[in-house]
Amino acid sequence: MKPSPRLMSALVPVAVLSFFLSACGSGAPEAVDVLASPISSEAPVKGAVASEDSLEAEQAGGEIKVVTDANFTREVLMSDKPVLVYFWASCRAACEMMTQVLQEIAAEQDSLIVAKINVDENPATPSTYGITSIPTMHVYQGGQIVKTFIGAKPKAALLAGLAPYL
Protein backbone atom coordinates (compact mmCIF):
# COMPACT_ATOMS: atom_id res chain seq x y z
CA MET A 1 0.00 0.00 0.00
CA LYS A 2 1.39 3.38 -1.02
CA PRO A 3 1.41 6.14 1.69
CA SER A 4 -0.76 9.15 1.01
CA PRO A 5 0.87 12.46 -0.02
CA ARG A 6 -0.42 14.04 3.19
CA LEU A 7 1.29 11.40 5.32
CA MET A 8 4.50 11.76 3.32
CA SER A 9 4.55 15.54 3.78
CA ALA A 10 4.24 15.06 7.54
CA LEU A 11 7.10 12.55 7.60
CA VAL A 12 9.57 14.49 5.45
CA PRO A 13 10.72 16.88 8.24
CA VAL A 14 11.21 13.89 10.56
CA ALA A 15 13.20 12.04 7.90
CA VAL A 16 15.36 15.08 7.15
CA LEU A 17 16.11 15.66 10.84
CA SER A 18 16.81 11.96 11.40
CA PHE A 19 19.25 11.92 8.47
CA PHE A 20 20.83 15.14 9.66
CA LEU A 21 21.33 13.85 13.20
CA SER A 22 22.68 10.49 12.04
CA ALA A 23 25.18 12.24 9.74
CA CYS A 24 26.67 13.90 12.82
CA GLY A 25 27.40 10.52 14.35
CA SER A 26 24.60 10.46 16.91
CA GLY A 27 23.63 6.82 16.98
CA ALA A 28 21.42 7.12 20.04
CA PRO A 29 17.83 6.14 19.18
CA GLU A 30 16.46 8.82 21.50
CA ALA A 31 18.29 11.50 19.54
CA VAL A 32 16.48 10.70 16.30
CA ASP A 33 13.08 9.62 17.61
CA VAL A 34 11.41 12.98 17.04
CA LEU A 35 7.89 11.59 17.35
CA ALA A 36 8.63 10.26 20.83
CA SER A 37 9.89 13.64 22.08
CA PRO A 38 7.04 15.72 23.45
CA ILE A 39 6.87 19.29 22.26
CA SER A 40 6.20 21.66 25.09
CA SER A 41 2.57 22.67 25.32
CA GLU A 42 3.59 25.90 27.03
CA ALA A 43 2.34 28.85 25.03
CA PRO A 44 3.58 32.38 25.50
CA VAL A 45 1.11 34.38 27.51
CA LYS A 46 0.73 38.06 26.74
CA GLY A 47 2.35 40.06 29.53
CA ALA A 48 4.03 37.01 31.07
CA VAL A 49 7.58 37.34 32.26
CA ALA A 50 10.29 34.72 32.49
CA SER A 51 11.29 33.43 35.90
CA GLU A 52 14.02 35.05 38.01
CA ASP A 53 16.40 32.22 37.18
CA SER A 54 15.95 32.86 33.47
CA LEU A 55 18.61 33.32 30.82
CA GLU A 56 18.52 37.08 31.27
CA ALA A 57 19.56 36.79 34.91
CA GLU A 58 22.17 34.14 34.13
CA GLN A 59 23.88 36.00 31.28
CA ALA A 60 25.60 38.52 33.54
CA GLY A 61 28.89 36.66 32.97
CA GLY A 62 28.62 36.96 29.19
CA GLU A 63 28.44 33.23 28.49
CA ILE A 64 26.24 31.50 25.98
CA LYS A 65 23.29 30.05 27.86
CA VAL A 66 21.99 26.55 27.23
CA VAL A 67 18.33 26.02 26.36
CA THR A 68 16.51 22.73 25.88
CA ASP A 69 13.27 21.46 24.41
CA ALA A 70 11.81 21.63 27.91
CA ASN A 71 12.60 25.30 28.64
CA PHE A 72 12.65 26.86 25.16
CA THR A 73 9.23 28.51 25.44
CA ARG A 74 9.94 30.04 28.83
CA GLU A 75 13.53 31.10 28.22
CA VAL A 76 13.33 32.21 24.59
CA LEU A 77 9.78 32.92 23.49
CA MET A 78 8.77 34.68 26.71
CA SER A 79 11.96 36.71 27.15
CA ASP A 80 11.69 40.49 27.51
CA LYS A 81 14.95 40.89 25.60
CA PRO A 82 15.77 39.69 22.09
CA VAL A 83 17.34 36.23 22.16
CA LEU A 84 19.85 34.94 19.60
CA VAL A 85 19.40 31.15 19.58
CA TYR A 86 22.24 29.14 18.12
CA PHE A 87 21.22 25.69 16.81
CA TRP A 88 24.39 23.57 16.87
CA ALA A 89 25.94 20.11 17.04
CA SER A 90 29.28 19.15 18.54
CA CYS A 91 30.43 17.22 15.48
CA ARG A 92 30.64 20.26 13.17
CA ALA A 93 33.80 22.36 12.85
CA ALA A 94 31.70 25.34 11.72
CA CYS A 95 29.74 25.09 14.97
CA GLU A 96 32.92 25.12 17.02
CA MET A 97 34.06 28.29 15.23
CA MET A 98 30.69 29.97 15.76
CA THR A 99 30.74 29.14 19.47
CA GLN A 100 33.84 31.29 19.93
CA VAL A 101 32.32 34.21 17.99
CA LEU A 102 29.04 34.00 19.92
CA GLN A 103 30.86 33.88 23.27
CA GLU A 104 32.50 37.19 22.36
CA ILE A 105 29.15 38.71 21.36
CA ALA A 106 27.52 37.46 24.57
CA ALA A 107 30.29 39.08 26.63
CA GLU A 108 30.00 42.41 24.79
CA GLN A 109 26.21 42.84 24.43
CA ASP A 110 23.89 43.49 27.37
CA SER A 111 20.77 44.10 25.30
CA LEU A 112 20.79 40.65 23.66
CA ILE A 113 20.66 37.20 25.24
CA VAL A 114 22.78 34.60 23.44
CA ALA A 115 21.58 31.02 23.89
CA LYS A 116 22.38 27.68 22.27
CA ILE A 117 20.48 24.46 21.77
CA ASN A 118 22.16 21.18 20.86
CA VAL A 119 20.15 19.58 18.04
CA ASP A 120 21.39 16.09 18.92
CA GLU A 121 20.14 16.29 22.50
CA ASN A 122 17.00 18.37 21.80
CA PRO A 123 15.44 17.26 18.48
CA ALA A 124 11.90 18.59 19.01
CA THR A 125 12.67 22.32 18.90
CA PRO A 126 14.82 22.19 15.74
CA SER A 127 12.11 20.11 14.08
CA THR A 128 9.42 22.59 15.13
CA TYR A 129 11.37 25.50 13.62
CA GLY A 130 12.44 23.65 10.44
CA ILE A 131 16.16 23.59 11.19
CA THR A 132 17.80 21.51 8.45
CA SER A 133 21.27 23.07 8.40
CA ILE A 134 23.69 23.86 11.19
CA PRO A 135 24.89 26.17 12.39
CA THR A 136 21.67 28.17 12.20
CA MET A 137 20.92 31.19 14.36
CA HIS A 138 17.49 32.72 14.93
CA VAL A 139 16.80 35.99 16.67
CA TYR A 140 13.53 35.83 18.64
CA GLN A 141 11.76 38.96 19.79
CA GLY A 142 8.31 38.96 21.33
CA GLY A 143 8.06 35.21 20.77
CA GLN A 144 8.65 35.49 17.00
CA ILE A 145 11.62 34.84 14.72
CA VAL A 146 12.75 38.24 13.45
CA LYS A 147 16.11 37.33 11.89
CA THR A 148 17.81 34.17 10.63
CA PHE A 149 21.47 33.42 9.92
CA ILE A 150 22.40 30.12 8.24
CA GLY A 151 25.96 28.89 8.25
CA ALA A 152 29.10 30.18 9.90
CA LYS A 153 29.42 33.98 9.79
CA PRO A 154 32.24 36.32 10.79
CA LYS A 155 31.66 38.41 13.88
CA ALA A 156 31.35 41.65 11.89
CA ALA A 157 28.61 40.18 9.69
CA LEU A 158 26.68 38.92 12.72
CA LEU A 159 26.93 42.26 14.48
CA ALA A 160 25.73 44.09 11.35
CA GLY A 161 22.71 41.78 11.11
CA LEU A 162 22.05 42.05 14.83
CA ALA A 163 22.29 45.86 14.93
CA PRO A 164 18.51 46.46 15.09
CA TYR A 165 18.28 44.22 18.17
CA LEU A 166 21.25 45.58 20.13
Are the beta carbons of 135 and 92 closer than 8 angstroms? yes
**Contact call for residues 67 and 118 (beta carbons, < 8 A):** no
This prediction has a pTM of 0.64
- Residue 8's alpha-carbon distances to 2, 53, 66, in angstroms, are 10, 41, 33
Please provide the CATH number assigned to the domain covering 5-165.
Answer: 3.40.30.10
* Gyration radius of the chain's alpha carbons: 16
Mean pLDDT of the chain: 73
- The per-residue pLDDT for 97 is 79
Q: Do 119 and 108 meet the contact criterion of CB atoms below 8 Å apart?
A: no
Q: First-to-last CA distance in the chain?
A: 54
| pLDDT in the model for residue 64 | 87
For the chain, what are the domain ranges?
5-165
pLDDT band, residue 72 (cuts 50/70/90) = very high
Mean pLDDT is lowest, of 26-30, 62-66, 117-121, 127-131, for: 26-30
